[in-house]
Structure 1
Amino acid sequence: MSKSVRRYVAPTELIDVARELLALGCRFQMAYHRHSGRSLEIVYLVDQGPNLEFLEIIVRSEGELPSLSEVAPLLSWYEREIMDLSEITFIGNPESFPLVVLNGMTLDGSPFDPNCDVQPLLSGTPASPSLPEIEASQVQDLFWGPIRADIVETGEFHFAYIGEEILHYTPRLFYKHRGIEHGLQNRDPAAGLILAERVSGVGTISHGLAYCLAVENAFGFEVPQRAQLLRIVLAELERIYNNLHFFAMLAKTTTLKVGEAFGLLLEEEAKQINAKLSGHRLLRNLLSTGGLRRDLNVGFLAFELRSLKAKVQDYLDSLANTQSYLDRLMETGILSADAAFDFGATGPIANASGLQRDLRVHHPYSGYDALSMKIPLRTKGDALARAEVRAESLIGAFDLIDQAIQTLEPGDINLYKPIVPVGTVDGLGWTEGPRGSCFYAVRLNDGIFERVKIKSPSFSNWKAFPLTVHSSNMMDYAINEASFGLTIAGADR
Structure 2
Amino acid sequence: MAYARKTRAGGLEVLYCLSQGIGHPYLILRVPPDQNRIPSLANRFPFMGWYEREMHDLFGLEFEGHPEPYPLVLHEGTEPSHPLLQGPSEQPLRFSVTPPTVPAMIGPEIQRLPFGPVRADITESAQFLFFYIGEGILHYHPRLFYKHRGMEQRFEGASLMTGVILSERVSGTDSIAHALAYCQACEAALGWAPPSRAHLIRVILAELERLTNHLHFFAELAKMTTLKVADAQGHWLEERAKQINGILTGNRFLRGILCVGGLRHDLDLSGLHDALEPLERDTRSYLGRLEETRSFLDRLIGTGRLTRAVAFDQGATGPIERASGLDRDLRRDLCYAGYATLHFEVPQQSTGDAWARACIRRDEIRQSLSMIRQCLEKIKPGPVWTDQMHAGPGPLAEGLGWAEGTRGALYYAVHYDPAQDAFDRVKIKDPSFSNWRVSPFTVQDSNLMDYAINEASFGLSIAGADR
TM-score by length of 2: 0.96
Contact 2:191-2:389 within 8 A present in 1 as well: no
Q: CA distance change for structure 1 residues 77 and 117 in 2, over 3 Å: closer, same or farther? A: closer
* Cα displacement string for residues 408-444 of structure 1 (whole angstroms, at most 9, x for unaligned residues): 0000000156754450110010000110010000011
Letter paired with 1:106:
E
Letter paired with 1:285:
G
The corresponding residue for 2:346 is 375
- Shift in Å at residue 478 of structure 1? 0.2
The corresponding residue for 1:154 is 125
The corresponding residue for 1:435 is 407
Letter paired with 1:89:
E
Q: Distance in 2 between matches of 1:479 and 1:377?
A: 21
Structure 2 residue 422 is matched with structure 1 residue 451:
no
82-91 vs 125-134, which moves further: 125-134
The corresponding residue for 1:179 is 150
225-234 vs 122-131, which moves further: 122-131
The corresponding residue for 1:243 is 214
Candidates 87, 91, 94, aligned match of 1:123: 94
- Shift in Å at residue 151 of structure 1? 0.5
Letter paired with 2:195:
P
* Cα displacement string for residues 171-217 of structure 1 (whole angstroms, at most 9, x for unaligned residues): 11111211110000111111111110000010110000000000001
Q: Distance in 2 between matches of 1:138 and 1:429?
A: 50
Q: Distance in 1 between matches of 2:85 and 2:411?
A: 19
The corresponding residue for 1:476 is 450
Q: Which runs of 4+ in 1 moved over 4 A?
A: 116-121, 416-422
SS of 1:203's equivalent?
helix
- Shift in Å at residue 71 of structure 1? 1.0
The corresponding residue for 2:321 is 350
The corresponding residue for 1:390 is 361
SS of 1:465's equivalent?
helix
Letter paired with 2:149:
R
Q: Distance in 2 between matches of 1:355 and 1:467?
A: 17
Q: Distance in 2 between matches of 1:230 and 1:72?
A: 38
Contact 1:34-1:112 within 8 A present in 2 as well: no
Contact 1:349-1:461 within 8 A present in 2 as well: yes
- Shift in Å at residue 110 of structure 1? 4.2
Q: CA distance change for structure 1 residues 40 and 200 in 2, over 3 Å: closer, same or farther? A: same
The corresponding residue for 1:38 is 10
- Shift in Å at residue 109 of structure 1? 4.3
The corresponding residue for 1:13 is none
Aligned length: 462
Contact 1:181-1:454 within 8 A present in 2 as well: yes
* Cα displacement string for residues 202-252 of structure 1 (whole angstroms, at most 9, x for unaligned residues): 011000000000000100001000000000000000000000000000010
* Cα displacement string for residues 337-388 of structure 1 (whole angstroms, at most 9, x for unaligned residues): 1111111110000000000110000001001011011001001000000000
Structure 2 residue 109 is matched with structure 1 residue 111:
no
Q: CA distance change for structure 1 residues 167 and 424 in 2, over 3 Å: closer, same or farther? A: same
Structure 2 residue 397 is matched with structure 1 residue 425:
yes
The corresponding residue for 1:208 is 179
Letter paired with 1:46:
L
Candidates 259, 263, 273, aligned match of 2:230: 259
The corresponding residue for 2:67 is 94
Q: Distance in 1 between matches of 2:54 and 2:338?
A: 34
Q: CA distance change for structure 1 residues 172 and 215 in 2, over 3 Å: closer, same or farther? A: same
Percent of aligned positions that are identical: 48
Structure 2 residue 287 is matched with structure 1 residue 316:
yes
* Cα displacement string for residues 257-312 of structure 1 (whole angstroms, at most 9, x for unaligned residues): 11111100100010010011001111010001111011111111111112211111
Name structure 1 gaps, 5 residues minimum: 1-29
* Cα displacement string for residues 310-340 of structure 1 (whole angstroms, at most 9, x for unaligned residues): 1111111111111100000011000111111
Contact 1:74-1:342 within 8 A present in 2 as well: yes
- Shift in Å at residue 123 of structure 1? 2.6
Candidates 465, 478, 486, aligned match of 2:439: 465
SS of 2:172's equivalent?
coil
- Shift in Å at residue 106 of structure 1? 3.1
Q: Distance in 2 between matches of 1:410 and 1:295?
A: 10
Q: CA distance change for structure 1 residues 157 and 403 in 2, over 3 Å: closer, same or farther? A: same
Q: CA distance change for structure 1 residues 488 and 357 in 2, over 3 Å: closer, same or farther? A: same
Q: Distance in 1 between matches of 2:109 and 2:54?
A: 34
Q: Distance in 2 between matches of 1:293 and 1:355?
A: 36
What value does the CA root-mean-square deviation take over the aligned residues?
Answer: 1.5
SS of 1:283's equivalent?
coil
Structure 2 residue 87 is matched with structure 1 residue 77:
no
Letter paired with 2:434:
S
SS of 2:123's equivalent?
coil
- Shift in Å at residue 120 of structure 1? 8.3
The corresponding residue for 1:490 is 464
Letter paired with 1:97:
Y
The corresponding residue for 1:133 is 104
Contact 1:111-1:119 within 8 A present in 2 as well: no
Contact 1:427-1:443 within 8 A present in 2 as well: yes
Name structure 2 gaps, 5 residues minimum: none
SS of 2:203's equivalent?
helix
Q: Distance in 2 between matches of 1:229 and 1:383?
A: 33
The corresponding residue for 1:334 is 305
SS of 2:15's equivalent?
strand
Contact 2:57-2:82 within 8 A present in 1 as well: no
Q: CA distance change for structure 1 residues 434 and 86 in 2, over 3 Å: closer, same or farther? A: same
Contact 1:102-1:126 within 8 A present in 2 as well: no
Letter paired with 1:455:
K
Q: CA distance change for structure 1 residues 120 and 271 in 2, over 3 Å: closer, same or farther? A: closer
Candidates 272, 275, 297, aligned match of 1:301: 272
209-218 vs 415-424, which moves further: 415-424
Q: Distance in 2 between matches of 1:126 and 1:43?
A: 34
Letter paired with 1:480:
N
SS of 2:189's equivalent?
helix
